């Protein structure tokens, strides 16, 4: 069985290092680690990952939701949001415009991230992705 | 023909063709002669007027007629205004009437008889114009009087010459008090002196303009109350000697209140956005701390890793409070039972959902601020972690019960009990050696509470504390 290939989009490099450590422990392959939406779009196109862990607030002008929207329009992959920015309107925008395969709220615990990734990867890929969870909106 | 006869003939021609209606009336008020213009004006055929009484054309009743017209055209209750009153009314043959201007000239006829020449002019047009003018005046009078703004006419000496009804109610003075009074009585005392100068400047170059652009203008009521106003100044056409200006004054109290409310609403909105942003930043930073712990743990071996991951769970319990707070309306008070539920779900995950012990929560409803929620959350983390780690060795089955109780006297009890193997006797709970129990002791002190431990049928640790007064968002 081939390793699932995952792209990390995270502007806090320490958090990105942590995510990479978790992915390696879980036996996934990290195909890249970028800090902006613009880079994410570029790297997703060149590496075609199975899944993207996407922060919503990023450095640069493009946020994670917009980056995910652009990536999902052209590439078959899954997006899992990992964000501390979980207000109702942001989550609604994320759910409505990108139908993510899952999300974890920061600070995350490893087991929750692992579970979310496993569930997301177990799903078939569709260009629009699939919602693994209901959004945590009030 | 003698000269007299020529003159008479010429006169007769002139008289016949003159555009003005002319009547020659004898002393018995009978018409002796009427020219073409007169016959046309009154609607009679040629020669028909001779011998008719002049009263048929200019009825005596004209006086009464005029009185009637006054009553008919003047609306009840309007300010007195002279109503169109032509000198006289003419009556046509068909009975219709029209306003006329009549000039009478006495004539001495031969045989010593006297007669009167009447030159009659139809003044219907002028009459109609006067009528319209008066109507306009009434309309403008009413617009002035009943305008929703206070309207005050003031002369260059600053004396109030006219004031409308709204002026009375806005400033609380009667009309009599206003008329003849200095305009400055309507201003707050501290502005009166300066206003004199402004007024003099205005009258040296009067033009239509709003007053005090960019300033908050204030009016002053008779009772001393001050209120915000907007004022429009306009010069009124008048002779140069007696210059007057019209001030239109609008009470801005309601508007000012709305503006104030709007400003407060915006400030509140900004505050909320800011607090949400802070909660977000705190969570992000806690994620960085949590990640640092993981990265460090990865390099230090299993024993250290386990301890550092315990602290990661502690960090997470604090982050969860910010998460919960950022979703509340007031961003300061959180629903404590809901927080406990999420916290316990997290702990279940951390220790594996396959752990043999079941965790159950019983919690009364209560809202806490950060200062109470954080120590309580950390205490629950320590006690539940301890129970899961030590009370059920070798996959022993069992239960952990987390209870939060609000007692009648307002104190709260936070209780974690298990039916596991019990705390070993060597552990002195008052002077614990492990960080977990040390934290529980310290945090309880922070809550100004006390710890009670029961070691029968498993373990129960109870924290009793008096939280601050509840503020339900």
Q: Given this model, what pLDDT does residue B242 score? A: 61
Q: Which residue of A has its CA nearest to B299?
A: A21
Of A17, A106, A110, the CB nearest to B283: A106
* B427 close to B435: Cβ distance less than 8 angstroms: no
Per DSSP bridges, beta strands B21-26 and A102-105 are unpaired
- A108, B288: Cβ pair inside 8 Å? no
Which of B274, B281, B287, B344 is best to mutate for the A interface (most A CBs within 10 A)? Answer: B287
Six-digit token string for A33: 């680690």
Length of chain B, in residues: 473
Six-digit token string for B350: 């951390």
Q: Which residues of A touch B350 (CB under 8 A)?
A: 109, 111
Q: Which residues of B touch A91 (CB under 8 A)?
A: none
Distance from CA of B294 to the nearest CA of A (A): 7
- B283, A87: Cβ pair inside 8 Å? no
Length of chain A, in residues: 138
3-state per-residue secondary structure call for B320-347: HHHHHHCCCCCCCEEEHHHHHHHHHHHH
Q: How far apart are CA B33 and CA B116, in angstroms?
A: 11
Enumerate residues 9 to 68 of chain A having a beta carbon within 8 A of any beta carbon in chain B.
12, 14-15, 17-19, 21-22, 57
A87 inside 8 A of chain B by CB: yes
Q: Which residue of B has its CA nearest to A115?
A: B349
Q: How far apart are CA A75 and CA A84, in angstroms?
A: 26
Which residues lie closer than 8 Å to B202 by C-beta, 6 or more apart?
Answer: B233, B245
Longest dimension (CA), chain A: 40
A118 inside 8 A of chain B by CB: no
Q: A122-127: long-range contacts (C-beta < 8 A, 24 or more apart)?
A: A123/A78, A125/A50, A125/A76, A125/A77, A125/A78, A126/A76, A127/A72, A127/A73, A127/A75, A127/A76
Q: How far apart are CA B417 and CA B401, in angstroms?
A: 5
Q: Is B94 exposed, middle or buried (0-12, 13-18, 19+ CB in 10 A)?
A: exposed
Q: Which residues of B touch A13 (CB under 8 A)?
A: none
Identify the CA nearest to B367 among candidates B397, B342, B332: B332
Could you please report the per-residue DSSP string of A13-56? HHHHHHHHHHHHHTT-EEEEEESBHHHHHHHHHHH--SEEEE-S
- B323, A105: Cβ pair inside 8 Å? yes
Six-digit token string for A21: 């450590």
* pLDDT per residue of chain B (473 residues) written in tens, 0 to 9: 566 777 778 777 887 888 889 888 888 888 988 888 999 999 999 888 888 888 888 885 444 444 544 444 434 434 444 343 446 788 898 989 898 888 888 877 777 778 888 888 888 998 899 999 999 999 999 999 999 999 999 988 889 999 999 999 999 999 999 999 999 999 998 888 888 888 888 887 777 777 777 678 899 999 999 999 998 888 886 655 568 889 999 999 988 899 999 999 999 888 888 888 888 888 888 999 989 888 888 888 888 888 888 888 888 888 888 888 888 877 788 899 999 999 998 888 777 666 778 899 999 999 998 889 999 999 999 999 989 888 888 888 889 999 999 999 999 999 999 998 888 877 777 788 888 888 999 899 999 999 998 888 888 999 999 998 887 77
Q: Given this model, what pLDDT does residue B241 score? A: 57
Q: Give phi and psi for B154, each to the nearest 5.
A: -130, 145
* B218 close to B228: Cβ distance less than 8 angstroms: yes
3-state DSSP helix/strand/coil % of chain B, to nearest 5: 45, 25, 30
Q: Is B37 exposed, middle or buried (0-12, 13-18, 19+ CB in 10 A)?
A: buried
* B392 close to B420: Cβ distance less than 8 angstroms: yes
B289 alpha carbon, distance to own chain's centre: 50
pLDDT at A137 over 60: no
| Helix axis angle, A88-98 to A64-74, nearest 10° | 10
Distance from CA of A55 to the nearest CA of B (A): 11
A86 inside 8 A of chain B by CB: yes
Phi-psi region of B397 (alpha: psi -120 to 50; beta: other; left: phi over 0): beta
Q: Which residue of A has its CA nearest to B350?
A: A111
Q: Give phi and psi for B117, each to the nearest 5.
A: -100, 125
Q: Which residue of A has its CA nearest to B349?
A: A111
Of A18, A87, A105, the CB nearest to B294: A18
- B280, A84: Cβ pair inside 8 Å? yes
Calculate the average pLDDT of chain A.
Answer: 86
Which of A59, A92, A106 is best to mutate for the B interface (most B CBs within 10 A)? Answer: A106
Find tokens 């010459």 and name the residue.
Answer: B161
Six-digit token string for B295: 């990265």
Find tokens 């193997």 and name the residue.
Answer: B421
Q: Given this model, what pLDDT does residue B172 score? A: 95
Q: Is A73 exposed, middle or buried (0-12, 13-18, 19+ CB in 10 A)?
A: exposed
Q: Which residues of B touch A57 (CB under 8 A)?
A: 284
Q: How far apart are CA A35 and CA A12, in angstroms?
A: 7
Of A21, A106, A111, the CB nearest to B294: A21
SS3 A75: coil
Question: What is the per-residue burial (b if ≥16 Cβ within 10 Å, else e) of B238-263?
Answer: eeeeebbbbbbbbbbeeeeeeeeeee
Q: How far apart are CA B462 and CA B441, in angstroms?
A: 11
Q: Which residue of A has its CA nearest to B276?
A: A87
Distance from CA of A38 to the nearest CA of B (A): 21
- B316, A21: Cβ pair inside 8 Å? no
Q: How far apart are CA A61 and CA A41, in angstroms?
A: 13
Q: Which residue of B has its CA nearest to A108?
A: B287
Q: Given this model, what pLDDT does residue B381 score? A: 92
- A14, B288: Cβ pair inside 8 Å? yes
Q: Given this model, what pLDDT does residue B354 score? A: 64
- A106, B319: Cβ pair inside 8 Å? yes
Identify the CA nearest to B388 among candidates B379, B376, B397: B397
Segment (H or E) for B369: strand B367-369
- B326, A86: Cβ pair inside 8 Å? yes
pLDDT at A6 over 90: yes
């Amino acid at each position: 069985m081939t390793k699932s290939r995952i792209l990390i989009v995270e502007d806090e490099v320490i958090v990105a290092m942590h995510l990479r450590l978790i992915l390696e422990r879980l036996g996934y392959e990290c195909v890249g680690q970028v800090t902006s939406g613009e880079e994410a779009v570029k790297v997703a196109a060149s590496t075609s990952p199975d899944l993207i862990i996407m922060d919503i607030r990023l450095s640069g002008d493009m946020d994670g939701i917009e980056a995910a929207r652009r990536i999902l329009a052209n590439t078959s992959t899954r997006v899992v949001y990992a964000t501390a920015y979980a207000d109702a309107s942001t989550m609604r925008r994320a759910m409505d415009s990108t139908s993510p395969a899952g999300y974890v709220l920061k600070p995350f615990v490893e087991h929750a991230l692992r579970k979310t990734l496993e569930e997301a990867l177990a799903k078939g890929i569709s260009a629009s992705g699939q919602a693994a969870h209901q959004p945590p909106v009030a | 023909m003698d000269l007299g006869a020529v003159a008479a003939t010429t006169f007769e021609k002139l008289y016949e063709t003159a555009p003005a209606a002319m009547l020659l009336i004898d002393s018995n008020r009978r018409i002796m002669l009427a020219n073409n213009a007169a016959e046309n004006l009154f609607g009679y055929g040629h020669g028909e007027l001779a011998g008719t009484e002049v009263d048929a054309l200019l009825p005596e009743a004209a006086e009464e007629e005029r009185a009637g017209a006054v009553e008919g055209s003047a609306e009840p209750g309007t300010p007195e205004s002279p109503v169109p009153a032509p000198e006289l009314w003419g009556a046509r043959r068909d009975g219709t009437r029209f306003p006329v201007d009549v000039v009478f000239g006495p004539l001495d006829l031969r045989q010593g008889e006297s007669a009167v020449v009447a030159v009659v002019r139809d003044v219907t047009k002028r009459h109609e114009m006067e009528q319209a003018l008066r109507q306009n005046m009434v309309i403008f009078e009413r617009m002035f009087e009943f305008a929703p703004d206070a309207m005050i006419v003031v002369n260059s000496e600053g004396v109030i010459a006219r004031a409308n009804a709204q002026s009375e109610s806005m400033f609380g003075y009667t009309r009599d008090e206003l008329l003849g009074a200095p305009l400055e009585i309507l201003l707050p005392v501290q502005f009166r002196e300066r206003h004199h100068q402004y007024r003099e400047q205005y009258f040296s170059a009067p033009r239509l303009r709003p007053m005090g652009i960019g300033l908050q203008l204030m009016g002053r009521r008779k009772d001393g109350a001050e209120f915000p106003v907007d004022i429009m100044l306009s010069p009124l056409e008048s002779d140069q000697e007696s210059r007057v200006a019209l001030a239109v004054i609008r009470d801005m109290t309601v508007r000012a209140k709305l503006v104030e409310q709007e400003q407060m609403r915006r400030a509140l909105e900004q505050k909320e956005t800011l607090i949400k942003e802070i909660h977000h930043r705190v969570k992000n930073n806690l994620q960085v701390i949590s990640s640092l712990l993981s990265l460090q743990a990865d390099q230090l071996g299993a024993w250290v890793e386990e301890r550092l991951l315990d602290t990661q769970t502690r960090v997470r319990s604090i982050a969860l409070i910010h998460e919960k707070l950022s979703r509340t309306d007031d961003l300061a008070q959180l629903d404590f039972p809901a927080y406990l539920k999420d916290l316990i779900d997290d702990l279940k995950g951390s220790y594996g959902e396959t752990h043999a012990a079941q965790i159950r929560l019983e919690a009364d409803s209560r809202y806490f601020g950060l200062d109470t929620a954080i120590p309580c959350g950390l205490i629950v983390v320590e006690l539940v972690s301890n129970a899961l780690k030590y009370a059920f060795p070798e996959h022993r089955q069992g239960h952990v019960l987390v209870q939060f109780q609000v007692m009648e006297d307002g104190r709260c009890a936070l209780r974690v009990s298990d039916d596991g193997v019990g705390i070993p006797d060597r552990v002195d709970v008052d002077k614990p050696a492990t960080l977990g129990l040390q934290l529980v002791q310290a945090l309880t002190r922070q809550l100004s509470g006390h710890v009670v431990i029961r070691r029968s049928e498993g373990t129960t640790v109870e924290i009793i504390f008096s939280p601050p007064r509840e503020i339900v968002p």
